């Protein structure tokens, strides 16, 4: 008779966890698809790193600035895949964008990031403009 153990994901061995964190493939709280800020191990550029799925995932590194529609088109013409950042519960997940995803949700609706290429960035006008920060008033409303 089989034991009634729960089917929960267990953490990898400590040496593997340390190694995965070192190479940027895992979060300190375990392997997950959550996207987090990090550094490219080759060029040391700031990237968004994580896995692109929960099952059979591949590690991805994304340029930290989201692209606009023209930027996504340029990236795809340069054979650079693009990913949508989706909020799932308490984390952000990257999902590869295919034709259907691009048509259904253009980059002005969701955050779309091009995959990181060492030493390469699209021209600045192909990234979404950073939101304008309005200064807080000096006098509170109360
Ligand atoms: Zn790099």
**What digits encode the pLDDT tens for the residues 55-113?**
777 889 999 999 999 999 999 999 999 999 988 877 788 999 999 999 999 888 899 99
Tell me the CA–centroid distance for residue 25 and ligand 1, in Å.
14
CA of 123 to the centre of ligand 1 (A): 17
Query: Does 10 fall in a domain?
Result: no
CA–centroid distance, residue 116 to ligand 1 (Å):
6
- Identify the domain containing residue 79 by its residue range: 33-121
Helix (H) / strand (E) element for 76: namely helix 69-77
Residues 6 or more apart in contact with residue 130 via CB below 8 angstroms = none
Q: Encode 95-106: b = buried (16+ Cβ within 10 Å), e = exposed.
A: bebeeebbeeee
Distance 135 CA to ligand 1 centre (A): 35
Name the domain count of the chain: 1
Mean pLDDT of the chain: 82
Question: 53 pLDDT band (50/70/90 cuts)?
Answer: confident
List strand residue ranges (DSSP E) for the chain, in order. 36-39, 46-51, 59-62, 82-88, 91-96, 111-114
The reply to whether 49 falls in a domain is yes
- Whether 133 is covered by a domain: the verdict is no
């Amino acid at each position: 008779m089989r034991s009634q153990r729960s089917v929960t994901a267990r953490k990898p061995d400590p040496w593997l966890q340390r190694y995965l964190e070192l190479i940027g493939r895992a979060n300190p709280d375990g392997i997950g698809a959550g996207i987090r800020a990090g550094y490219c191990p080759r060029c040391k550029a700031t990237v968004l790193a994580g896995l692109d799925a929960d099952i059979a995932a591949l590690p991805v590194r994304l340029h930290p600035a989201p692209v606009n529609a023209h930027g996504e088109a340029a990236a795809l013409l340069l054979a650079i895949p693009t990913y949508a950042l989706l909020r799932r519960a308490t984390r952000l997940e990257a999902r590869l964008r295919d034709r259907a995803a691009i048509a259904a949700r253009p980059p002005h609706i969701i955050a779309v990031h091009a995959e990181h290429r060492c030493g390469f960035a699209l021209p600045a006008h192909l990234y979404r403009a950073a939101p304008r920060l309005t200064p807080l008033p000096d006098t509170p409303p109360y």
